[in-house]
Structure 1
Amino acid sequence: MATPDQHTVSSEIRKAPAPVLAMAGLLAVAVVASVCVGASGLSFSRALQGLLVWDGSADHALVLDVRLPRAVLAVLVGANLAVAGLLAQTLTRNPLASPQTFGINAGASVAIVLTVAILPGLGTGGTVLPAFAGAAAVGAIMWFLSLSGAVTTVGLALAGITLQLVLTALVQALLIMSASTQDLVFWLAGSVTGADWSKVSVILPFTIAGCAAALLFGRHLGVLELDVTTGQSLGQNTRHVAALASLLVVLLAGSAVAVSGPIGFVGLIVPHIVRRLPGGGDLRRLAGLCLVGGPLLLVCADLLGRVVAFPAELPVGIVTALIGTPTFLLLAARQRHR
């Protein structure tokens, strides 16, 4: 029997089907295009056939074992980063917050590179816990700064970017000093290249758990947008709710960095976009929209990186940076004006 929260989530989804369905349709098209586009010379029709009918050929193996996992990984990473960004903005009541602008991605990256330097040959699954630790450490610093009230909205974002730059410099130092980390250079740009089903299996449980929690507890998490006194007057334990939101940000962002590197700006851009769509409003609806909007942005960015540099590829993190940097500057200027 469905719980009241499950009934509420279903009701919220039914109230705003149009933008969700429209983005879901675009996402399906983008995923098919991602699977069918590549430098191998495989025709579009042959690649599409590989999705529908398996014949055991090398072409179909390429589709199912190389291209499809890449598209699926982009979907999962995009969902993680978008929902994490929404929760970070809600938790800190800061429209400039995201896993990148607050240095959370960089914290996870430092922890992963340091772990690989100490334990060479560690697989993707072994980097998840270090990623969580690094993301949690930086997230705690930024959260305490936010709670202190001593830093403005723009100042908090600048503090996060400064911390990110320091951590990035530390990562580069580790890369120079340790030969075992040299193969992480491409990963640090943020990429879903080289994706396989094992990477999908690493991130999938965290995506399901984190995104489901954001939907189920969205009514409680939305109280974080209010001040502490108002939240308490509504019967919410704001400390517990804030702790849950912080945990979800760490799980979602940390697992994304572990499998794809520090891809930036998805968590910043997507929440702002979905807030302007019909049906946006409370956090549950916004989280539902982010679950589709984040994957759509990342799959399209990955596809664009393959098209503009064909037959070579641009890491998807570079493409999102080119899109996100002017967006961040525009948001910062508007916030400073306010």
Structure 2
Amino acid sequence: MKDIHNKDMERASSKQKIFILAGLLILLIISVGVALAQGAVYISPQEIQGALTGNTGANSQIIMNIRLPRTILTVLVGINLATAGAILQAVMKNPLADPHIIGISSGAGIAGIFIMIVLPQFSFLITPAAFVGAMLAALCIYILAWKNGIKPLRIILAGVAVSSFIGAGISALLILYSDRVNGALMWMVGGFAARSWIHVQLILPYTVFGVFFVLLFTRHLNVLLLGDEIARGLGMNVEKTRIILTAAAALLAASAVSVAGLLGFVGLIVPHTARLIIGSDYRFMLPASVLLGGSVVTLSDTVARCAFAPIELPVGIFMAILGVPFFLFLLRREL
């Protein structure tokens, strides 16, 4: 009877989590609708629907050529960064892990900036170069933090050290090539100004492949949370799994950095919020992070775009305003 009762409770809990995921999907749809409607010109839902169904109204060009690609891009970038953060928090057993905080985004950033200002003719290589930079940064952090295992504080300290070192390299590049830094400076802050369908096409394959691939590893992520000894006892090759998942996180973060710049704190805020809403089971927490990540970045970009109109703030500034207090709260609680 007890086993039957536990199974019934588990089914009920699973149903509740499915309802939560449905609610997060609705939130994402609402976020997209708000982003399409709001801006220098307000566009009604009827006009948006008309533009999406092929009607040539007065504002259809604004929707199809400016707001729709930008909105899709904010969703994809939010998904990538939130998923990368959720993976890193499990792989590194560190609740403060985030591609930006621990230096992975910085590794992607210096590679992207190098291509952008030193070899602009090879701009099509920004995403693969950013991936290599992100993986090298992750490898350095992992090596520096390893001493009879991984501890959260070591990850943070190693990440700060690597990020500072890479930041010095970025500053050197900007000084040496000061005549080419205009685009790079905006890219360092993180934002979606002047983004188009080309950028959507650039990131979309990485998002689809990366998220689908990671969803296949939800059981592995749950096992990693139990600790290395238990994971090995269950037959998992812990180091191999860590390398594969870290590579997936680096690919997702690098593709986001390549189109949006150094946008921070998404991978920290979103997985924690998803965990509070739906629990720590990665079968549900990872999809929740995907949906919530798209919503958070889309709404943040809309606010950054409209709050001080006609001046447009880069969304990276807005995310830092949200993220820094959240990070300090978590740091104080964990330490």
Q: TM-score, normalised by structure 1?
A: 0.89
Q: Which residue of 2 aligns with 1:106?
A: 106
Measure how far apart 1:270 and its partner are. 0.9
Alignment of structure 1 residues 189-228 onto 2, 5 Å: 189-228=189-228
Q: Which residue of 1 is the match for residue 3 of structure 2?
A: none
Provide the secondary structure at the position in 2 that maps to 1:20.
helix
Q: 1:285 to 1:145 in 2, by over 3 A?
A: farther
What letter matches 1:290 in structure 2?
Answer: S
Matched to 1:60, the amino acid is S
Q: How far 1:297 moved relative to its partner?
A: 0.8
Q: Kindly indicate whether the alpha-carbon contact (under 8 Å) linking 2:48 and 2:60 is maintained by their aligned counterparts in 1.
A: no
Are 2:32 and 1:31 aligned? yes
1:273-301 CA-to-partner distances (Å, cap 9, x unmatched) read: 111113x2322211111110111110111
| Matched AA of 1:128 | T
Equivalent position of 2:311 in the other structure: 312
| Structure 1 residue 47: Cα displacement | 4.7
SS at structure 2 position matched to 1:101? coil
After superposing the two structures, state which structure 1 stretch, 170-179 or 314-323, moved more.
Answer: 170-179
The separation in 2 between residues aligned to 1:13 and 1:51, in whole angstroms, is: 38
Identity %: 34
The verdict on how the C-alpha distance between 1:247 and 1:13 changes in structure 2, with shifts beyond 3 A counting, is farther
Give the superposition deviation at 1:45.
4.8
Whether the 8 Å contact between 1:13 and 1:288 is mirrored in structure 2 is no
Residues 181 and 146 of structure 1, relative CA distance in 2, 3 Å threshold: same
Partner Cα separation in structure 1 for residue 229 and residue 152 of structure 2: 20
Amino acid at match of 1:173: A
Q: Does the Cα contact within 8 Å between 1:154 and 1:335 map onto a contact in 2?
A: no
Are 1:326 and 2:325 an aligned pair?
Answer: yes
- TM-score (norm. length: structure 2): 0.90
Displacement of 1:199 after TM fit?
A: 0.8
Distance 1:47-1:99 versus aligned 2 partners, 3 A rule: farther
User: Helix, strand or coil: the match of 2:120?
Assistant: coil
| Residue 142 (1) aligns with residue 109 (2) | no
Q: Give the partner amino acid of 1:263.
A: L
Q: Structure 2 counterpart of 1:171, which letter?
A: I
For residues 162-185 of structure 1, what are the alpha-carbon distances to aligned partners after superposition, in whole Å with 9 as ceiling and x for unaligned? 432332232233122212343221
Q: CA deviation at 1:21?
A: 1.2
Cα pair 1:77 1:295 within 8 Å, conserved: yes
1:17-96 to structure 2, matched below 5 A, reads 17-39=18-40, 41-45=41-45, 47-57=47-57, 59-96=59-96
- In structure 1, what is the Cα distance between the partners aligned to 2:297 and 2:115? 27
Q: How many residues align?
A: 322
The answer to whether the Cα contact below 8 Å between 1:94 and 1:153 also exists between their aligned partners in 2 is yes
| Contact kept? 2:36, 2:43, Cα under 8 Å | no
The Cα shift of 1:15 comes to 6.3
Let me know the Cα RMSD of the aligned residues.
2.0
Structure 1 letter corresponding to 2:83: V
- Could you list the per-position Cα deviations for residues 76-117 of structure 1 after superposition, in whole angstroms to 9, with x for gaps in the alignment? 110100110011010110111110111111111101111223
1:142 CA drift (Å): 1.4
User: Which whole-Å CA distance do the structure 2 matches of 1:295 and 1:149 have between them?
Assistant: 37
CA deviations on 1:28-54 (whole Å, 9 max, x unpaired) are 111111111122x35435752444432
In 2, Cα distance between equivalents of 1:287 and 1:78: 13
Shift of 1:152: 4.7
The answer (yes or no) to whether the contact 1:215–1:287 under 8 Å persists in 2 is yes
| Aligned residue number for residue 235 of structure 2 | 235
- Alignment-mate amino acid for residue 242 of structure 1: R
Whole-angstrom CA distance in 2 between matches of 1:265 and 1:110: 18
Query: For 1:335 and 1:192, how far apart are their aligned partners in 2?
Result: 33
Letter of the structure 2 residue corresponding to residue 312 of structure 1:
I
* Structure 2 residue aligned with 1:300: 299
1:153 corresponds to:
152
Q: Which amino acid in the other structure matches residue 17 of structure 1?
A: I
Residues 224, 241 of structure 1: 8 Å contact kept: no
Determine the structure 1 residue equivalent to 2:130: 131
Structure 1 position 121, deviation (Å): 4.0
Which residue is 1:291 aligned to?
290
- Amino acid corresponding to residue 300 of structure 1 in structure 2: L
| Matches of 1:137 and 1:103, distance apart in 2 | 10
Unaligned runs of 5+ in 1: 1-11
Asked if the contact 2:116–2:184 (Cα under 8 Å) also holds between the matched residues in 1, the reply is: no
Structure 2 residue aligned with 1:254: 254
Decide which moves more: 222-231 or 261-270: 222-231
Unaligned runs of 5+ in 2: 1-12
Q: Distance in 2 between matches of 1:13 and 1:35?
A: 33
In the alignment, the residues of structure 2 paired with residue 47 and residue 161 of structure 1 have an alpha-carbon distance, to the nearest angstrom, of 48
